[in-house]
């Protein structure tokens, strides 16, 4: 098992190097002058020239990448055009709000995903199974940027239950209650489609398990359906549940991006959007890199967990 | 007559028959056909032009006489814009799904045939896998610049790793079969083996994947336009319409809500059909079904 995990970690490091190259190259493959792209359209010709010198744009691409990478390892991601502060500062400032939203969304995804899966897969072909399957189809099909707007209209504007902007959640004096109230709508928006995918895949796993002889044996011993679902089959469903839940991390990031924008949630996604709108390329680059790193590391953790949970791979 | 017999024996026909028995997949297929008709005949169906504005009726709610779904912030008929918008929304999603498959087929075949090249191709794809879908698309469009063509390019890049992996898997499993060995021994050129013999056997895997992924690509494409990175206003496209409507949700929530409802309906149709196709072609799912059918007898 240890060897398998070490292999995964090694592969992850290689992928991260590739990721950093893609993010670096995105800037250099963009049409037009790189220095002008970095400084934005408002910069004077002298400043553009100066930056071109500084970046060494006349040198081979790989050497430029090496320098950029070394700076990156020191935590230097360049300076934001619109904010005038180092990009790394911007990211460390915003990443906590994003991690909080991601954590809450991931919690919703796994808890409700498993609950719906057990309720529908454990009672295959019941009315409840049908209703949940229908609900999951709807949830899986909702575009996050639209779901966010609809929730905002219903619960924020009409019913006035939840606040309509997430900014207040990160205030220094925000109590747990205030943070939770701000968090609910963005987290539901982010989790919706992932939750549905997790529920659907795990439901199939439950249905497969329900046909196994050991379940019939348990039934013959007189165990209740509830006990069979929550204890007997759960253990065998867990590995595929963990795998699919881990795969959702990427989708959660994509959806979180949109819900941060819709709910004005002060995280990396909103910062990325502002970077795009203001043509602040260093910020876009930094945010993309930060999200990709968190994503890759998250996948690694999910992978290790599923190796640890599956006796066949434990070795 | 011969054509009919070929059609009725072909795999596609068989698939269609299987789908017909699957009520939800059949519903999805019909919904998509309706959307297809709207795409073809949008200007005839729509009561107004996409940018025809009646400023005096700005933000009028749904049910306004002559304007079933109301009007937007510029006084344009929302129903007409949704109908016209079907075109760009569907095209920006279907095009990359088709082109992605066309690019991935040769890449995946070469990767399966030449193992060293395969390692290079697959590792490159692994790097692309490391980005969440929407994020990679954002990175590409924000570096190439906003616009429809760049939106299509970015979506092809987003799809490529998934497609290549699937084509590679299918080709690698075919490669081990005796008929390929026989071709190789008989001195058939690699070109012929790959693109005449192997291609027809791996293409279905790519097509099925394309059918199942269409729903999420529609959402990603509309999402990029929502962010201002894809289709640009004043063109009618659902993502653009939701984004424009966002500015007036306090006074006229219907402007953002209605195009999104159309988008959701389209994605539901894609997912219904995609799931049906996957179930119909996945032998394991089919085995489970027949197993259950036997149990219930």
pLDDT digits (tens, 9 = 90+) for A261-293: 999 999 999 999 998 888 788 888 899 999 999
Note whether A110 contacts B: Cβ–Cβ < 8 A: no
**Whether the predicted pLDDT of B294 surpasses 50:** no
Q: What pLDDT shows up at residue A144?
A: 95
* Closest chain B residue to the Cα of A269, Cα to Cα: B135
Q: Tell me, what DSSP letter sits at residue A86?
A: B
Q: Give how far the C-alpha of residue B159 lies from the chain's centroid of Cα atoms, to the nearest Å.
A: 10
Q: Inspect the interface and report whether the beta carbons of B145 and A30 lie closer than 8 Å.
A: yes
The answer to whether the Cβ–Cβ distance between B139 and A284 falls below 8 Å is yes
Which of B223, B249, B292 is opposite residue A153, by nearest beta carbon? B249
Q: Quote the radius of gyration of chain A (alpha carbons, Å).
A: 24
pLDDT at B176 over 60: yes
Residue B213 tokens, joined: 């992924």
Which residues on B lie below 8 Å from A137 (Cβ)? 24, 268, 271-272
Q: Cα-flanking dihedrals φ and ψ of residue B70, to 5°?
A: 85, -170
Chain B contact for A284 (CB, 8 A cutoff): yes
Q: Three-state secondary structure along chain B? A: CHHHHHHHHCHHHHHHHHHHHCHHHHHHHHHHHHHHHHHHHHHHHCCCCCCCECHHHCCCCCCECCECCCECCCCEEHHHHHHHHHHHHHHHHHHHHHHHHHHHHHHHHHHHHCHHHHHHHHHHHHHHHCCCHHHHHHHHHHHHCCCHHHHHHHHHHHHHHHHHHHHHHHHHHHHCCHHHHHHHHCCCCHHHHHHHHHHHHHHHHHHHHHHHHHHHHHHHHHHHHHCCCCCCCCCCCHHHHHHHHHCCCCCCCHHHHHHHHHHHHHHHHHHHHHHHHHHHHCHHHHHHHHHHHHHHC
- Determine the pLDDT at residue B7: 53
For the domain with range A94-313, which CATH number is right: 1.20.120.1730, 1.10.3720.10, 1.10.101.10, 1.10.1070.11? Answer: 1.10.3720.10
Please tell me the distance from the alpha carbon of residue A241 to that of residue A213, in angstroms, as a whole number. 21
Which residue has better confidence, A311 or B201? B201
A146 Cα distance to chain centroid: 18
The yes-or-no verdict on residue B237 having pLDDT over 90 is yes
Residues of B with Cβ-Cβ distance to A295 under 8 angstroms: 130-132, 135
Going from N- to C-terminal start, the domains of chain A cover 2-73, 94-313
Q: How many CB pairs under 8 A join A and B?
A: 144
pLDDT band at B105 (very low <50, low <70, confident <90, very high): very high
Q: Is the Cβ of A55 closer than 8 Å to some Cβ of chain B? A: no
Overall average pLDDT of the B215-219 stretch: 94
Task: Check if A257 contacts B (Cβ < 8 Å).
Answer: yes
Kindly give the parts of chain A with pLDDT less than 50. none
pLDDT the model gives residue B291: 39
Interchain proximity B291–A211, CB inside 8 Å: yes
ipTM above 0.90, yes or no: no
CB contact (8 A) between residue B131 and residue A18 = no
* Distance of residue A17 Cα from the nearest chain B Cα, in angstroms: 9
Q: How close B248 comes to chain A (CA, Å)?
A: 11
B71 - beta bridge partners? B77
**Over residues B278-290, mean pLDDT:** 58
Nearest Cβ partner for B288 among A208, A250, A281: A208
Report pLDDT for A64. 82
CB-nearest to B264 from A146, A157, A207 is A146
Token pair 């359209």 is found at A41
Peptide bond into B234 cis (omega under 30): yes
Nearest to A29 by CA among B179, B140, B276, B151: B140
Output the average pLDDT for chain B.
88
Three-class SS of residue A265? coil
Predicted local confidence at residue A285, as pLDDT = 87
Query: How far is A21 from chain B, CA to nearest CA, in Å?
Result: 9
A198 phi and psi, to 5 degrees?
-60, -45
Query: How does pLDDT run across B91-103, given as a tens digit for each residue?
Result: 999 999 999 999 9
């Amino acid at each position: 098992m240890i060897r398998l995990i070490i292999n995964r970690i090694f592969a992850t490091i290689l992928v991260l190097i590739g990721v950093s190259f893609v993010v670096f190259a995105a800037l250099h493959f963009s049409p037009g002058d790189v220095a002008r792209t970095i400084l934005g359209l408002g910069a004077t010709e002298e400043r553009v020239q100066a930056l071109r010198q500084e970046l060494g744009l006349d040198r081979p691409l790989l050497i430029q990448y090496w320098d950029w990478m070394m700076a990156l390892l020191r935590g230097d991601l360049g300076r934001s055009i619109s904010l005038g502060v180092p990009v790394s500062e911007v990211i460390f400032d915003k990443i906590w709000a994003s991690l909080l939203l991601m954590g809450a969304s991931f919690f919703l995804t796994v808890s409700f995903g498993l609950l719906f899966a057990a309720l529908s897969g454990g009672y295959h072909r019941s009315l409840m199974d049908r209703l949940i399957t229908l609900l999951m189809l709807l949830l899986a099909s909702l575009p996050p940027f639209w779901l966010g707007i609809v929730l905002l209209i219903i619960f924020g504007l009409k019913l006035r239950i939840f606040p309509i902007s997430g900014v207040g959640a990160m205030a220094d004096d925000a109590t747990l209650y205030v943070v939770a109230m701000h968090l609910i709508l963005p987290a539901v928006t982010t989790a919706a489609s992932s939750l549905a995918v997790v529920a659907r895949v795990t439901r199939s796993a439950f249905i497969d398990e329900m046909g196994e002889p050991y379940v019939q044996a348990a039934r013959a011993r007189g165990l209740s359906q509830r006990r069979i679902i929550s204890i007997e089959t759960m253990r065998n469903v867990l590995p595929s549940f963990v795998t699919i839940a881990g795969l959702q991390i990427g989708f959660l990031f994509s959806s979180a991006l949109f819900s941060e924008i819709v709910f004005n949630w002060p995280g990396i996604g909103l910062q990325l959007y502002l970077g795009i709108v203001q043509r602040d390329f260093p910020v876009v680059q930094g945010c993309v890199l930060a999200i990709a790193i968190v994503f890759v590391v998250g996948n690694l953790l999910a992978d290790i967990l599923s190796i640890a949970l599956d006796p066949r791979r434990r070795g | 007559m011969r054509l009919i017999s070929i059609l009725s024996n072909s795999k596609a026909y068989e698939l269609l028959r299987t789908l017909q028995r699957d009520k939800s997949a059949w519903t999805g297929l019909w919904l998509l056909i309706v959307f297809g008709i709207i795409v073809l005949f949008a200007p005839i169906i729509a009561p107004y032009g996409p940018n025809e504005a009646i400023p005096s009726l700005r933000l009028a709610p749904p049910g306004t006489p002559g304007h079933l779904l109301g009007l937007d912030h510029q006084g344009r008929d929302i129903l007409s814009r949704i109908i016209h918008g079907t075109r760009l929304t569907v095209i920006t999603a279907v095009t990359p799904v088709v082109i992605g498959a066309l690019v991935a087929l040769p890449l995946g075949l070469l990767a399966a045939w030449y193992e060293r090249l395969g390692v290079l191709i697959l590792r490159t794809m692994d790097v692309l896998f490391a980005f969440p879908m929407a994020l990679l698309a954002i990175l590409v469009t924000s570096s190439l610049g906003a616009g429809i063509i760049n939106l299509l390019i970015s979506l092809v890049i987003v799809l490529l790793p998934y497609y290549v992996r699937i084509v590679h898997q299918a080709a690698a499993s075919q490669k081990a079969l005796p008929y390929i060995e026989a071709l190789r021994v008989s001195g058939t050129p690699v070109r012929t083996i790959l693109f005449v013999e192997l291609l027809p056997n791996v293409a279905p895997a790519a097509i099925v994947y394309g059918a199942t992924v269409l729903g999420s690509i529609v959402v990603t494409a509309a999402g990029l336009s929502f962010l201002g990175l894809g289709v640009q206003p004043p063109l009618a496209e659902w993502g653009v319409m939701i984004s424009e409507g966002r500015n007036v949700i306090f006074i006229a929530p219907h402007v953002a809500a209605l195009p999104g409802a159309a988008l959701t309906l389209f994605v539901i149709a894609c997912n219904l059909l995609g799931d049906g196709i996957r179930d119909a072609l996945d032998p394991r799912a089919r085995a489970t079904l027949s197993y259950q059918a036997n149990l219930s007898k």
